[in-house]
A and B are shown apart, each in its own frame.
Chain A
């Protein structure tokens, strides 16, 4: 069972898919950082940043529709910003810049996640010295979100099969019971998982192995991307 929301990675064989996840993650984060900290936006920035993202989408062979779907996730926040702009008398230009920053950041990270399997991203985070506890937490979240999702579906079916469509509002009052059942099941599973970890020699540290390879292609990619980013951010024409 594959969850589209859960496994963003798309199988393909573009050069972007073969890059070391660290180079993609580093470049993606560098892009987000530079975009977020750009204070004065001129034509070069307004045109250059989206062009860089568009080039990444094209080179990675990622479906534009999927990227747009992810960008759509920003819309509720954009609406809130719009409301806030009305009350705080924020200029249109500032509003556009804030929106651009949000949309570009999400789009850039969407390209990274759609060209890198999530386990590889986790390894990249780990080797880029992200706190191990956080990486471990994300790894468990990734592994058990699918299991948890299936349990939710089973509980929902059990509930639906006995609700007969009548007095549906009464059913909603039982959501708390369903959530409690899920919590208890998750708690019990966590105990069994911990037992499984102990059974295979876990003491207190998660083992780590170097499974990634940073090659010449990655070096060229990171250099070229950072060079272009530098030109767009600090270039004078």
Chain B
């Protein structure tokens, strides 16, 4: 399997001195679905912010054949789509249309293409016809869908989701799982929702204290109750006796 994403010796320290990532190594193959699991404050979101160059730490990140630097950062942002934990952070334009169109317009697409992409992305997430709505009138589940559409409109090859099921009711969560299963892209998911991981991912890494402490297949990891407990996690409810 060809690697589409590789992170080598990545370290990052916040301006207040907090070390968020320490020597992280991660490789993701084309079409893979990988979960990054770990307790609160483990560095999952920080790691994801590095994948498209929003944060820049020490180390090397390669996306497809591009090594992340000042020259390649915009090209990499076309490849890696980041879906934020809180849709209120991601939906910053006054209407759904403008939000979903924000990325394609920045890419320099023509108006016709932008409109096509918006319609396609909204249809893909089941929110067709919502173009004129304003984000603060939508439910959390709907805002999450629009946030996803705003990234899908960029046609990224890699999708990185930060806590995608956070705050969703069971029905919306189930719909999200079914939707994620159908996506053809390479997917990375940062989450505590291990039941979701069980449904979607084949491989997972445990991140704790800014380090990757374990890497393996999902069944391998979920079989080790002591390992999960040591890193603030719990076996998925479905696997508990």
Contact = CB atoms under 8 A, between A and B. Distances in A.
Interface string A200-236: 1111000111110000000000000000000000000
B111 A143 contact: no
A57 to B, nearest CB: 25
Nearest to B96: A119
Contacts of B49: 195
A207 B105 contact: yes
9 contacts: A2-B137, A143-B91, A143-B135, A197-B102, A199-B81, A200-B106, A207-B102, A207-B105, A207-B106
Contacts of B54: 195, 198-199
Interface stretch (B82-90, B185-193, B230-238): B82-90
Contacts of A117: 132, 134
B123 interface: no
Contact of A199 (B82, B105, B137): B82
Secondary structure dominating the interface of A: helix
Nearest to A6: B136
Contacts of B101: 207, 209
A188 B64 CA distance: 32
A202 B136 contact: no
Given A196-B89, A209-B114, A119 B94 contact: yes
A26 interface: no
Secondary structure dominating the interface of B: helix
B150 interface: yes
A192 interface: yes
A143 B94 contact: yes
Interface size class of A (residues with CB under 8 A): 20 to 34
A54 B114 CA distance: 41
Contact of B92 (A2, A122, A193, A209): A193
A1 interface: yes
**Nearest 6 A-B pairs (CB), nearest first?**
A207-B105, A201-B106, A146-B136, A119-B94, A200-B103, A192-B89
Contacts of A1: 136-137
A202 B106 contact: yes
Interface string A1-21: 110000100000000000000
Given A2-B137, A196-B84, A198-B54, A203 B92 contact: no
B56 to A, nearest CB: 11
Nearest to B54: A195
Given A119-B94, A192-B86, A198-B54, 4 more contacts: A195-B89, A199-B82, A201-B103, A202-B102
Nearest to B94: A119
A192 B54 CA distance: 10
Interface in A98-140: 117-119, 122, 139-140
B107 interface: yes
B95 A200 contact: no
A44 B81 CA distance: 62
Interface in A80-103: none
Contact of A196 (B53, B92, B134): B92
Nearest to B81: A199
A207 B106 CA distance: 6
Contact of A203 (B52, B74, B84): B74
